């Protein structure tokens, strides 16, 4: 397990490393999880020292290494989940924390858009498309993306951390009470308070389209994607629809993420007002 965490810098392994760390905390507690994370951090620091004489290179990267971008957020949210025993509350805490991080970026970083523009340009500078006939087009695309990166980076980070946490919770349920995670996930809801915040953000964004509100809206809508998926899973379970329909849905999400994730997120947001999962029970009998 520690070796897997120690290799957490690798893209495929990083997801597993976060899930394993969450599993350790959910089963053994925060102290054991902190110890495992600390040992894995030492291993990564040694790898960084051997690779380029920089022990921090593998832990803290410009776009968030495993320590800052994965393990610390996973440990914090796993603590909330272990304490509250509620996926809904944990997702709510993650959503509100994400909003605070975006506000911090926009207010505390001197020039956040210029920072992201420079960082994206550096990361993508080695790609052939940046030096071809359409180089100017891609530079403009990077400039446009940089305006939304404060929200996109936070939304992507929290989304990934929540996926790792849920994988850890799923593994815990498999060990202790199989099927418990599915029941919890199908009940997942951000509740009225976060829904009101999200609705106000969307209205303000339409009336006053500032960069702050645009980036805040990205974060909150990304979190409602989980509730939208919970609604879909609950409907499939309640109506005994075939499971391959969910497989097709996830394949389509991978192929067309921007369109379908927006629809799923909207379904999660609207669910708090209409409660799709209980419509059949509330419907008047003939």
User: How large is the average pLDDT for residues 202-214?
Assistant: 86
Q: Is residue 7 part of a domain?
A: yes
User: How large is the average pLDDT for residues 252-263?
Assistant: 88
The pair of structure tokens assigned to 135 is 């180089």
Query: At 167, is the pLDDT very low, low, confident or very high (cuts 50, 70, 90)?
Result: very high
The pair of structure tokens assigned to 196 is 């009101």
Q: Is residue 136 part of a domain?
A: no
Q: Is residue 43 part of a domain?
A: yes
Tell me how far the alpha carbon of residue 155 is from its chain's centroid: 6
Q: Is residue 123 part of a domain?
A: no
Q: Is residue 215 part of a domain?
A: no
Predicted local confidence at residue 283, as pLDDT = 46
| Containing structural domain, residue 2 | 1-85
User: Among 34-38, 54-58, 66-70, which is the least confidently predicted range?
Assistant: 54-58
Q: Per-residue pLDDT tens for 169-205?
A: 999 999 999 989 999 999 999 988 889 988 888 888 8
Q: At what angle do helices 30-52 and 72-84 cross, to 10 degrees?
A: 170
pLDDT at 6 over 60: no
Q: How far apart are CA 192 and CA 209, in angstroms?
A: 24
Letter string b/e over residues 210-238, b meaning 16 or more CB atoms within 10 A of that residue's CB? eebbbbbbbbbbbbbbbbbbbbbbbbbee
Predicted local confidence at residue 126, as pLDDT = 75
DSSP letter at 190? Answer: -
Q: Is residue 11 part of a domain?
A: yes
Q: Per-residue pLDDT tens for 67-113?
A: 566 788 999 999 999 999 999 999 999 999 999 999 999 998 888 89
Q: Is residue 20 part of a domain?
A: yes
The pair of structure tokens assigned to 118 is 């420079």
Domain count of the fold of the chain: 1
Q: How far apart are CA 241 and CA 256, in angstroms?
A: 23
**C-beta of residue 179 within 8 angstroms of C-beta of residue 80:** no
Q: Per-residue pLDDT tens for 103-142?
A: 999 998 888 899 898 888 887 777 776 666 777 777 888 8
Predicted local confidence at residue 3, as pLDDT = 41
This prediction's pTM: 0.85
User: How large is the average pLDDT for residues 252-264?
Assistant: 89
pLDDT at 47 over 80: no
Strands (E), the chain: none
Listed in sequence order, the residues at least 6 apart from 153 whose beta carbon sits closer than 8 Å to its beta carbon are: 63, 64, 116
Q: Is residue 197 part of a domain?
A: no
């Amino acid at each position: 397990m520690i070796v897997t965490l120690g290799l957490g810098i690798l893209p495929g392994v990083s997801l597993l490393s976060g899930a394993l760390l969450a599993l350790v905390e959910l089963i053994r507690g925060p102290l054991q999880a902190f110890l495992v994370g600390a040992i894995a951090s030492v291993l990564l620091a040694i790898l960084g020292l051997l690779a380029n004489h920089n022990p921090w290179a593998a832990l803290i990267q410009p776009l968030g290494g495993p320590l800052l971008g994965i393990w610390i957020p996973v440990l914090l949210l796993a603590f909330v989940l272990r304490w509250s025993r509620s996926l809904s509350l944990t997702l709510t805490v993650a959503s509100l924390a994400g909003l605070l991080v975006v506000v911090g970026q926009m207010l505390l970083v001197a020039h956040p858009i210029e920072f992201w523009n420079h960082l994206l340009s550096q990361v993508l500078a080695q790609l052939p498309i940046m030096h071809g006939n359409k180089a100017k087009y891609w530079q403009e695309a990077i400039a446009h993306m940089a305006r939304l990166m404060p929200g996109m980076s936070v939304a992507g980070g929290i989304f990934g951390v929540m996926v790792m946490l849920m994988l850890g919770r799923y593994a815990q349920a498999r060990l202790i009470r199989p099927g418990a995670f599915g029941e919890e996930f199908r009940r997942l809801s951000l509740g009225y308070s976060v829904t009101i915040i999200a609705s106000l953000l969307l209205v303000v964004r339409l009336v006053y389209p500032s960069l702050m509100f645009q980036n805040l809206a990205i974060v909150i809508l990304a979190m409602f994607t989980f509730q939208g998926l919970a609604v879909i899973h609950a409907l499939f379970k309640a109506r005994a629809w075939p499971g391959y329909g969910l497989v097709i849905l996830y394949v389509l999400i991978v192929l067309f993420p921007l369109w379908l994730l927006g629809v799923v997120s909207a379904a999660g947001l609207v669910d708090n007002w209409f409660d799709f999962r209980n419509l059949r029970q509330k419907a008047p009998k003939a």
